[in-house]
Chains A and B, each alone.
Chain A
Amino acid sequence: MHKKNTISNNQIKNLLITSVIGVGILSLPSNMASILDNDGWLAILVGGLLIVPLIFMVDRLFKMFPNKDIFQIGEEVLGRILFTILLIVIIIYTILTLAYAIRVFGEVIKGYLLDRTPIKVIIITMLLAACYLARAEIEVLGRMATMVYPILIGLIIFLVLLSIAEGDFTNILPVFNADFTLLPKGILISLFSYAGYEIILLAYTTSDNKKDALKYTLRGLFIVIGIYVITFFSTLSQLGVNQLKRRIWPTIAIANEVDLPGYFIENLDGIVLTLWVLIVYTTLGPILYTGGRALAYIFNTRSHDIFILPLIPLIYIVSIIPDNIISVYENMGIILGYMVIISAMAIPILIYLVALIKKRRRKA
């Protein structure tokens, strides 16, 4: 029988993949192409590889403090007050990410599926649905991710098949021809697509087989990188670099352009988007869960579920601040880019470094 509040490594892997891949996959190819032209995939790849040391670091951190979760470790290392301040930063980041994701989601759904429904209604309903997942325990998140994972993979395979059938692979060429002084900028923007990986900070300690957790987490990360790179290539091969730059959501655009032979379904973008709802859902849920857990730590309560619903109005208000989708990507996106680097990357590094220094000092 499985133990309460433990999840398998495979579930951690799936949780990582489904949490990271969400709204970003729609715009990532176009963002990358507008900076690095045909070599956008390089930024995606390097950005992803930059997460690898972070994952090793998380692994080391949890090995340093066996059988403790991230909140206990943070408190022990940084002290309750400093850690609480950092957690507040993380909660703000959570609200911003969710607001950004839900706004983009709302715009996409409104644009492609429900043109007459107010975007506010779409945002609220989706947030409320995400609440249902976020209120659950980590096991449920893991199970849900595992159920959605095959659907995600199916969608990606479908995209690849489309590009094989319709794409022109000469569009990928020329490679290594971009202005590489822009590479750091590209990497910074691609890092944002890996936001959501921090769910492993919560999931890692619940693994039922901690020995192999690192292996599975890395595998998950590589699958994410693979999916992003594949998406980039398949949109590039179908649209060409100039078209790709101009589209906001090239990933939907390529689904729109095909007619299946002997077609029963005319516009595949509708179907792809419908399934994409699932993928966004499994991104929103875990991030919301993270926020709830952080609040539960700050207010020192045992269960996190009471904090999920109060977050919803905040997320909603933030999400409707930008006037239009361009503003979402330009203003919100830039703020969030920094927030991701601070909260999802800098804070874990800080905890790790302080823990390391404290340990050295204790030894000496």
Chain B
Amino acid sequence: MLISKNLQENTENIKAIFKDCDDIVYRNIEIGKERIKALIIFVDGLVDKIVISEFAIESLLNSEDLKNNMENIRANIAEKASTQHLAIHDVKEEEDLNKVVDAILFGETVLLIDGADKALIMSTRAWPARGVQEPQTETVVKGPRDGFTETIRFNTALVRRRIRDPRLKVKTLRVGRRSKTDVVIMYIEDIVNEKLLQEVYKRIESIDIDAVGESTALEFLIEGNYLSPFPQAESTERPDAVAASILEGRVAILVDNTPFVILVPSTIGTIFQSTEDYYTKWPMASIVRSVRFFAAFLTVLSPALYIAVTSFHPGLIPSVLAFYVAASRINVPFPAVVESFLMELTIELLRESGTRMAGPIGSTIGIVGGIIIGQASVEAGIVSPLKIIILAVTTISFFAIPNYEWALSLRVIRFIFMILAAIFGLYGVMLGIVTLMVHFAKLESFGIPFTAPFSGLGLKDGDLKDTLAKAPLQKLAFRPKFTFPKDKRRYRRR
């Protein structure tokens, strides 16, 4: 539907669309000597009212020029108002009524003037927003403390501030038939691989859904294997991580209303990277990397190995230890698998209740849980002390994995391993491992093999230098290969 020249008609149309929407404000004004009728429309709460009052309404009402100038103001009143009278930084003309409605909903202010077949859209977006704060999920000891917020513009600015390059592109798409959520794709034009970029566009543009709530929801819609328990993209709250990833030739997908930014493609290597690795000397960073991989193994395997060793292969551990284990389990009425499930489920319960309850109540849960798990259950004889140690190791390892979603997936997988271990012992654990390895080998993140650093590119091509270990920056002169970047070299010694 197009805007008509008749203000009355336009007003009726818009009011019909916004029927029963009480947050829409209509402000009627009359401009100039000829008293040309005009209407200002905006959504209360999404706009900066001071800007509208002082720089739009005020300047239109009190313009000497409009008051005195007699000669045909009506002719192209819209352009004149825009170029001569509105003291607002961004004013656009729009002829399509539907787009005007969209603009109102996005927080713009619309000025309709009688006799003009164009609406003026003034950029006045301003809404209550959280400021830039330290991220909650990926804290660092040393490194920048700013985190993304819920407002997409702040977020793009946080990245832009780190890469002042005109080749850093910021493309906006709109996803969601009803939510019309802004989705921004950021990449560096001459680094990113064309095919990867096309794939990202293709997948986002093919989404047909009524609303996108959070970036993770979008991630689920665009990843290759949605049945897999493992996310095939990463999300982060840290602008420095996003900037670094974009410089590696990856693509960042920002979604409005969430501080979490999706990074694609991701590999098993990037999952275990933390930005702090790049702010620490390389030997320490390398140790930490290996520790994280080890932590992932422990998270998945330690309860299963406990079950396998105690119930199937006590001969594998030294006899002294085996006797001790048997002695400590002598009062436990359950088999190791029941004991393990009991405790692992309890710790899940604790974790869940602890996360939902913040502050003092949360710490109460921690203390109560700690006492129950640590002491009472052992004294009551339902679990063995060794199981408590295993439990603690599993839980601590979980928190050592930098990627939260991945850590959660691994936690889920450990239950499957426990069942396998209970049926087949170590052989069952191995069955689980091979199946998991094949599953990883099958996963692809936007056309990039998920296991890239381990399964194809190898040592020479550089990715392993930044995976299991972290080489000094001087040795990482080339961008990682898994993104197939166009511009390969990033460091050159002068």
Contact = CB atoms under 8 A, between A and B. Distances in A.
Chains A and B are bound partners: yes
B61 interface: no
Consensus secondary structure, chain B interface: helix
B6 interface: no
B404 interface: no
Interface stretch (A33-41, A65-73, A134-142): A134-142
Contact of A117 (B424, B434, B451): B424
A143 B449 contact: yes
Nearest to A260: B318
Contacts of A133: 434, 438
Contact of B449 (A129, A139, A274): A139
Interface string B317-330: 11100100000000
B441 interface: yes
Q: How large is the interface on B (under 10, 10 to 19, 20 to 34, 35 or more residues)?
A: 35 or more
A278 B318 CA distance: 25
A265 B319 CA distance: 10
Contact of A147 (B313, B322, B426, B455): B455
Interface string A136-158: 10011011101110000000000
Contacts of A129: 431, 434-435
A271 interface: yes
A157 to B, nearest CB: 16
A2 B449 contact: yes
Interface in B290-333: 312-313, 315-319, 322
A277 B451 contact: no
A35 B438 CA distance: 39
B484 interface: yes
A136 B441 contact: yes
B225 interface: no
Nearest to B451: A143
A265 B442 contact: no
Nearest to B316: A270
A278 B427 contact: no
Contacts of A146: 454-456, 458
B118 to A, nearest CB: 45
Given A1-B447, A129-B434, A136-B438, A142 B425 contact: no
A146 B316 CA distance: 29
Given A10-B456, A113-B313, A270-B313, A144 B427 contact: no
A312 interface: no
B196 interface: yes
Q: How large is the interface on A (under 10, 10 to 19, 20 to 34, 35 or more residues)?
A: 35 or more
A122 interface: yes
A113 B456 contact: no
* Most chain A CB within a 10 A radius of its CB, from B319, B442, B448: B442
Contacts of A140: 438, 441-442
A267 interface: yes
A181 interface: no
B389 interface: no
A252 to B, nearest CB: 14
A20 interface: no
Contacts of A266: 315-319, 322
Nearest to B319: A266
Interface string A1-39: 110000110110000000000000000000000000000
Interface string B42-53: 000000000000
B435 to A, nearest CB: 6
B317 A132 contact: no
Contacts of A114: 312, 424-425, 427
A67 to B, nearest CB: 22
B431 A125 contact: yes
B477 interface: no
A281 B313 contact: no
A264 B318 contact: yes
Contacts of B196: 1
Nearest to B429: A274
B426 A113 contact: yes
A109 interface: yes
B203 to A, nearest CB: 15
B437 interface: yes
A136 to B, nearest CB: 6
A264 B447 contact: no
A160 B318 CA distance: 23
B441 A271 contact: no
A132 B438 contact: yes
A126 B434 CA distance: 10
A22 to B, nearest CB: 13
A259 to B, nearest CB: 9
Interface in A42-92: none
Nearest to B194: A1
Interface in A242-267: 263-267
B324 to A, nearest CB: 13
* Most chain B CB within a 10 A radius of its CB, from A125, A126, A140: A140
A131 to B, nearest CB: 10
22 contacts: A2-B456, A109-B427, A113-B312, A113-B425, A125-B424, A126-B431, A136-B442, A139-B449, A140-B438, A140-B441, A142-B455, A143-B451, A143-B456, A144-B438, A144-B455, A147-B441, A147-B454, A148-B437, A264-B318, A266-B317, A271-B316, A285-B438
Given A2-B447, A129-B435, A143-B451, 11 more contacts: A10-B458, A11-B455, A117-B424, A143-B449, A143-B456, A144-B441, A146-B454, A148-B437, A264-B317, A265-B318, A277-B434
- Report, nearest first, the 8 A-B pairs whose CB atoms are least far apart: A143-B455, A277-B430, A143-B441, A1-B195, A146-B455, A270-B316, A281-B434, A140-B441
